Amino acid sequence: MKFAILAFPASNCELDAYYAITDILCEEAALVSYDSDSLIDFDAVIVPGGFSYGDYLRSGAIARFAPIIPALREFANSGKPVIGICNGFQILTEAGLLPGALQKNTVAQFICRDQQLIVTNNQSPFSNLYDEGAIITLPIAHGDGNYYCDTQTLKSLEANNQIIFRYHNNPNGSVSDIAGITNQKGNVLGMMPHPERAVEKILGSDDGRQLFTSIINFIKTGEVAFHE
């Protein structure tokens, strides 16, 4: 099993993701440059956080034109798991792989702290080892984490069970407390909190580890092994 971890100019979380996958979960991973054009032979893709292209224009807006994006679209369309974390979530929305957009936080400042989340759907490749309704703690670090979508899109997200995580005490003004969503197929997840920074208790929480083990279980079995 092999994870691709994309690296854009000014990404800064790709090594955190690499460490989580290789040192903690003991799976294979490789850093893949933004100017690559293939994701062949990978089983899952992580689009990590940071400030791709300096967040010029708006977060993720320039990264969507990187040479790797067509390969990412093809990978996602094949049904394999893709997770975008923080700036990665912003890139996925800008690239049209997820609905909605990320705006400035309503508090008008960068937020960096531990944040409680509610697991609202544990029947996905990314959440099947969590209990539904569980409250978990993951770090957040963003200035543009305010998720927005129109009323019709929100109704669609809710009807299709695409909302995987919601904030407990919403820190940034996101509509309907949304912290993480999938596409309709369920294989592409975008989330603002950082699970890769919460894979060991020494870091303050290891609640992020179950997200990655959920992905691994899904890849190995081809099924979602739901946690009752």
State how far the Cα of 228 lies from the Cα of 226, in Å rounded to an integer.
6
Residue 193 exposure: Cα atoms within 13 Å on the Cβ side: 32
- Among 13, 14, 27, 86, the one annotated catalytic: 86
Known catalytic membership, residue 86: yes
State how far the Cα of 132 lies from the Cα of 118, in Å rounded to an integer.
8
What is the 3-state secondary structure of the chain? CEEEEEECCCECCHHHHHHHHHHHCCCEEEEEECCCCCCCCCCEEEECCECHHHHCCCCCCCHHHCCCHHHHHHHHHCCCCEEEECHHHHHHHHCCCCCCEEECCCCCCCEEEEEEEEECCCCCCCCCCCCCCCEEEEEEEECCCEEECCHHHHHHHHHCCCEEEEECCCCCCCHHHEEEEECCCCCEEEECCCHHHCCEHHHCECCCHHHHHHHHHHHHHCCCCCCC
Which residues are known catalytic residues? 86, 194, 196
